[in-house]
């Protein structure tokens, strides 16, 4: 999250009065950028990833693992490290043997996040188009982790789990300890000090709660194990609290049976994800990428599933998405449809954090039937955009985002409209957390139109994070090169997003997916997609007048989507990527390294390897102190985090995880290669015995 300028943040009733002004100025700023940048051409094909970390305090002999709340101090230490700045990261880079770079690369950038126990890191500059550069991603991610660790206490570690298993559990889970129930969050379970103290963040949480008229309600179905009572009542909920008016929420039914009940923004925005931003060569290409990547959002969410535990209990879902959605759901009872519309303008079917609701490309293959017939837009805003010269589809997109109120407004920003800034536009844009984000150039126009892919869950190792990032880059290149068509009705993408939540959805669910991704219009690709002997070469376009939309898609497993259908009808994303790699010049070593990434993804999709969530579930189930009652206690949490730290430390020395003796690790990470040519057998039995170089 980018930080807005400091100032006087308005509390909700006052902010609400100024919402219209922010929207009006935001639209003026948007039109300014649009007019300035709509003709921008030939921007480079750049991209960048974002890695989010939890910072934990861990010591082998300390029974409790805690969340460290020293985000600000760690960021200060990073910012004031002159050696780091002076050397442009070079010192650290040279120490890192895997960072095969000839020129100094700018040091990674570290960002604050909502949780005061979180950290975000991006590369020092975006990645370029070269294939070789794809191999710099993993070493750079490792470098980021290393630099982060070097600016922490010896007992602090940056780890990449999506959520802290015992966030919000009774007793101490933060370092230092604060008792729950502060004036901003009014949570039963977490203290206000859990949030980044920068005024933007507590105001965001408090104003979402005020706008809603009650606390957020983040309920996740509990996983019913052998000894889990039925019905299950969340034992941590206190129905007798009387600190705040919001304590009535639980008495009014906010905490139903069989759900893990959470009540604050931190339970959602305190989770870590993996995001990728692509720069397109111009706005047309950006709009195309936005649409084509959109149906992949739920697929990649299910494939990266990593979130099986909340508040000390096993959940019956595998991913973080809906919990974040609910944690920032600012809709009023009228907007939710619980009361007749009186003060609010419309009913709104989704939270401001949700799967996207629009397609925006000028692609003639975008059929009207794919669009959401129930899309809520602000017609006046749409008209202003149309009057400003914007076309219908894009005006509709922004008129949809602008149905939302701005949540955090600084008094000082409302004095004068500055058309050389984008702050009011960004205020609305950056609090519409959809699974894709269409990012216009900043006011100074020095970079291009960008598209962000936001659904993936963070993985434990940088090997995995690099694999998923690089995979998405290759898919994106294949989309552009082969002019692929993944359109399905946007409502089906919504449905897929729900399905992606299911336990082991990667293996058990089917997802609506387009049967034939190959273009009907003439391809822009300068290569054809292979001869008949290639895998998945049922790829030739079948030009025809469009039939019923329902005939264009079918339900497929993730394995079919990623690896291809057994009958060869659907080619599979990996065979498509392979065809793309065949069509361009990639040297043998690079191709071999990329194959390692593709292999991980292929095996995760087929079930040969486990998702992170499945690995964690198995880890918990096999732990001696687990009682088959869905409870993830402090001992299990300690040992899980200990394992994650051990994996991280081992990874910093290379890609050999053998001998760690961590249960289930070989089935999570597979047989890695230490580098192309030298294959390393991962600790297959988890017994520390195997793992010799072959």
Distance in Å, CB of 468 to ligand ADP, minimum? 14
CA distances from 522 to 12, 256, 297, 504 (A): 53, 55, 26, 39
**Shortest separation between residue 563's beta carbon and ligand ADP, angstroms:** 29
Q: Binding residue for ligand ADP (CB under 6 A) from 98, 175, 363, 452?
A: 452
Residue 318: what are its φ and ψ, rounded to 5°?
-115, -10
> Could you identify the residue written with the tokens 């998945």?
536
Distance of alpha carbon 138 from alpha carbon 603, whole angstroms: 19
According to DSSP, the residues that pair with 56 across neighbouring strands are: 67, 157
Q: Is residue 569 at the binding interface for Mg ion, with CB under 5 A as the rule?
A: yes
Cβ nearer to ligand ADP, comparing 114 with 657: 114
Do 233 and 635 touch, CB atoms closer than 8 A? no
Nearer to ligand ADP, 131 or 310 (CB): 131
Tokens describing residue 229: 């009572």
Nearest-CA neighbor of 456 among 306, 311, 325, 616? 306
Tell me how far apart the alpha carbons of residues 386 and 399 are, in angstroms, rounded to a whole number: 10
| Nearest of 13, 20, 121, 28 to residue 388 by alpha carbon | 28
The least CB distance from residue 434 to ligand ADP, in Å, is: 12
Neighbouring residues of 202: CB distance < 8 A, sequence distance ≥ 6: 184, 185, 192, 195
In this chain, which stretch among 352-360, 499-507, 563-571, 574-582 interacts with Mg ion, using CB under 5 A? 563-571
Quick one: which segment of 12-20, 209-217, 345-353, 444-452 binds ligand ADP (CB under 6 A)?
444-452
CB of 452 to ligand ADP, least distance (A): 6
31, 49, 204, 597: residue in contact with ligand ADP (rule CB under 6 A): 49
Query: Which residue, chain included where needed, has tokens 């609910």?
Result: 326
In angstroms, give the least distance from the CB of 454 to ligand ADP.
8
How far from chain centre, in Å, is Cα 49?
10
Q: Does 75 bind ligand ADP (CB under 6 A)?
A: no
Nearer to ligand ADP, 2 or 677 (CB): 2
Pick from 28, 508, 515, 671 the residue near Mg ion by CB under 5 A.
515
Q: How far is the CB of 99 from ligand ADP (least distance, A)?
A: 17
Nearer to ligand ADP, 137 or 636 (CB): 137
591-621 burial, b at 16+ Cβ within 10 Å, e below that, comes to bebbebbbbbbbbbbbbebbbbbbbbbbbbe
48 binds ligand ADP (CB under 6 A): yes
d(CA 328, CA 266): 9
Closest approach, Cβ 277 to ligand ADP, in A, equals 3
Residue from 28, 36, 38, 111 touching ligand ADP (CB under 6 A): that is 111
Work out whether 355 is an interface residue with Mg ion (CB under 5 A). no
SS (H, E, C) 455-500: CCECCCCHHHHHHHHHHHHHHHHHHHHHCCCCCCCHHHHHHHHHHC
**Which of ligand ADP, Mg ion, none sits in contact with 279, Cβ below 5 to 8 A by type?**
ligand ADP
* Residue showing the smallest CB distance to ligand ADP in the complex: 48
As measured in angstroms, the least distance from the Cβ of 451 to ligand ADP is 9
Report the distance separating Cα 67 and Cα 506, nearest Å.
30
Spatial distance between the Cα atoms of 521 and 485, rounded to a whole number of angstroms: 10
Identify the DSSP state of 5.
P
**Rounded to the nearest whole angstrom, what is the least distance from the CB of residue 114 to ligand ADP in the complex?**
12
Q: Is 277 an interacting residue with respect to ligand ADP (CB under 6 A)?
A: yes
Mark residues 84-123: x for contact with Mg ion by CB under 5 A, - for none: ------------------------------------x---
Cβ proximity of 37 and 50 under 8 Å: no
Interacting residues with Mg ion between 49 and 78 (CB under 5 A): 50
Residue 361 found at the interface with ligand ADP (CB under 6 A) = no
Q: Which does 569 bind (CB under 5 to 8 A by kind): ligand ADP, Mg ion, none?
A: Mg ion
Rounded to an integer, what distance in angstroms lies between the CA atom of residue 117 and that of residue 641?
Answer: 15
- Select the binding partner of residue 126 from ligand ADP, Mg ion, none (C-beta < 5 to 8 A, by kind): ligand ADP
Interface with Mg ion, residue 541, by CB under 5 A:
no
196 to each of 68, 111, 120, 203, how far by Cα in Å? 12, 12, 13, 10
Report the site for ligand ADP in 503-542 (rule: CB under 6 A): none
Site for ligand ADP in 557-576 (CB under 6 A): none
Closer by beta carbon to Mg ion, 120 or else 405:
120
Size of residue set near Mg ion by CB under 5 A = 6
Binding mask 116-155 for ligand ADP (x = CB under 6 A): ------xx--x-----------------------------
Quick check: 447 binds ligand ADP (CB under 6 A)?
A: yes
Of the candidate residues 25, 34, 47, 619, the single one contacting ligand ADP (CB under 6 A): 47
Judged by CB under 5 A, which of 187, 275, 316, 356 binds Mg ion?
A: 275
List alpha helices for 607-686, DSSP H: 612-622, 634-652, 665-669
Instruction: Look up tokens 């930080």; give the residue.
Output: 3
Binding segment for ligand ADP (CB under 6 A), chosen from 48-56, 316-324, 342-350, 499-507, is 48-56
Q: Which helix (H) or strand (E) holds 275?
A: strand 274-279
The least distance separating ligand ADP from the CB of residue 168, rounded to whole angstroms, comes to 25
**C-alpha to C-alpha distance for 378 and 346, rounded to whole angstroms:** 9
φ, ψ for residue 544 (rounded to 5)?
A: -165, 160
Residues that bind ligand ADP (rule: CB under 6 A) add up to a total of 16
**DSSP state for residue 195 in the 8-state scheme:** B
Q: How far is the CB of 273 from ligand ADP (least distance, A)?
A: 11
* Separation CA 681–CA 675 (nearest Å): 12
Q: Is 162 in the site for Mg ion (CB under 5 A)?
A: no
| Partner that binds at residue 515, options ligand ADP, Mg ion, none, CB closer than 5 to 8 Å by kind | Mg ion
Q: Exposed/middle/buried for 188, CB within 10 Å: 0-12, 13-18, 19+?
A: buried
CB of 563 to Mg ion, least distance (A): 15
Tell me the closest approach of the beta carbon of residue 272 to ligand ADP, in angstroms: 13
Least distance (Å) between residue 484 CB and ligand ADP: 21
CB nearer Mg ion, residue 259 or residue 438? 438
Question: What residues contact 668, with CB distance under 8 A and at least 6 apart?
Answer: 460, 609, 610, 612, 615
Q: Where do contacts with ligand ADP occur on this chain (CB under 6 A)?
A: 2, 46-50, 111, 122-123, 126, 275, 277, 279, 447, 450, 452
Q: Where do contacts with Mg ion occur on this chain (CB under 5 A)?
A: 1, 50, 120, 275, 515, 569
């Amino acid at each position: 999250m980018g930080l807005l300028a400091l100032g006087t943040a308005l509390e909700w009733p006052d902010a609400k009065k100024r919402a219209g002004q922010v929207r009006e100025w935001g639209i003026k700023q948007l039109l300014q950028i649009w007019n300035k940048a709509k003709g921008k051409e030939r921007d480079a094909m750049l991209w960048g990833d974002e890695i989010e970390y939890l910072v934990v305090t861990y010591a082998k002999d300390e029974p409790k693992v805690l969340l460290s709340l020293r985000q600000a101090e760690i960021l200060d230490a990073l910012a004031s490290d002159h050696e780091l700045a002076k050397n442009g990261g070079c010192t650290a880079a040279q120490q890192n043997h895997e960072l095969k770079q000839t020129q100094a690369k700018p040091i990674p950038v570290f960002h604050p996040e909502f949780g005061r126990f979180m950290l975000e890191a991006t590369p020092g500059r975006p990645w370029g188009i070269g294939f070789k550069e794809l191999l710099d991603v993993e070493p750079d991610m490792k470098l980021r982790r290393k630099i982060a660790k070097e600016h922490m206490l010896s007992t602090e570690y940056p780890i990449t789990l999506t959520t802290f298993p015992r966030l919000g559990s009774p007793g101490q889970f933060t370092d230092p300890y604060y008792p729950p129930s502060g004036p901003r969050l009014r949570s039963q379970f977490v203290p206000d000090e859990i949030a980044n103290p920068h005024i933007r963040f507590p105001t965001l949480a408090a104003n979402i709660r005020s706008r809603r008229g009650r606390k957020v309600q983040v309920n996740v179905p509990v996983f019913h194990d052998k000894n889990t009572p039925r019905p299950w009542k969340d034992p941590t909920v206190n129905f007798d609290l009387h600190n705040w008016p919001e304590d009535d929420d639980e008495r009014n039914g906010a905490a139903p049976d069989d759900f893990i009940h959470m009540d604050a923004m931190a339970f959602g925005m305190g989770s870590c994800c993996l995001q990728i931003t692509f720069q397109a060569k111009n706005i047309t290409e950006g709009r195309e990428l936005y649409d084509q990547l959109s149906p992949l959002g739920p697929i990649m969410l299910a494939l990266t599933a990593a979130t099986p535990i909340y508040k000390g209990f096993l959940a019956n879902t595998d991913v973080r998405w809906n919990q974040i959605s609910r944690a920032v759901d600012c809709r009023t009872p009228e907007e939710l449809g619980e009361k007749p519309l009186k003060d609010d303008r419309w009913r709104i079917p989704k939270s401001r954090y949700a799967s996207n609701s629009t397609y925006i490309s000028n692609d003639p293959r975008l059929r009207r039937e794919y669009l959401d017939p129930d899309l809520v837009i602000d017609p006046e805003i749409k008209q202003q955009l149309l009057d400003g010269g914007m076309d219908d589809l894009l005006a509709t997109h922004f008129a949809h985002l602008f149905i939302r109120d701005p949540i955090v407004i600084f008094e000082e920003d409302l004095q004068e409209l500055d058309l050389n800034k984008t702050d009011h536009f960004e205020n609305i844009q950056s609090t519409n957390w959809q699974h894709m984000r269409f990012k216009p150039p900043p006011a100074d126009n020095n970079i291009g139109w960008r598209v962000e892919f936001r659904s993936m869950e963070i993985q434990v190792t940088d090997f995995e994070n690099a694999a998923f990032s690089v995979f998405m880059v290759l898919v994106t290149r294949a989309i552009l090169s082969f002019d692929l068509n993944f359109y399905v009705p946007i409502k089906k993408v919504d449905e897929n997003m729900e399905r992606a939540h299911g336990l082991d959805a990667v293996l058990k669910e089917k997802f609506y997916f387009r049967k034939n991704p190959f273009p009907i219009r003439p391809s822009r690709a300068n290569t054809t997609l292979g001869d008949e002997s290639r895998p998945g070469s049922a790829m030739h376009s079948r030009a025809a007048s469009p039939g019923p939309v329902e005939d264009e898609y079918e339900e497929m497993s993730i394995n079919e989507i990623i690896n291809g259908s057994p009958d060869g009808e659907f080619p599979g994303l990996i065979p498509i990527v392979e065809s793309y790699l065949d069509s361009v010049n990639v040297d043998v070593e690079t191709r071999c390294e990329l194959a390692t990434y593709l292999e991980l993804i292929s095996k995760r999709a087929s079930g040969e390897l486990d998702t992170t969530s499945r690995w964690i579930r198995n880890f918990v189930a096999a732990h001696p102190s687990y009682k088959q009652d869905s409870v993830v206690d402090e001992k299990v949490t300690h040992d899980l985090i200990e394992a994650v730290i051990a994996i991280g430390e081992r990874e910093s020395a290379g890609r050999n995880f053998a001998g760690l003796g961590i249960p289930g690790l070989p089935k999570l990470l597979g047989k890695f290669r230490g580098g192309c040519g030298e294959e390393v057998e991962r600790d297959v039995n988890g017994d520390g015995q195997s793992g010799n170089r072959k």
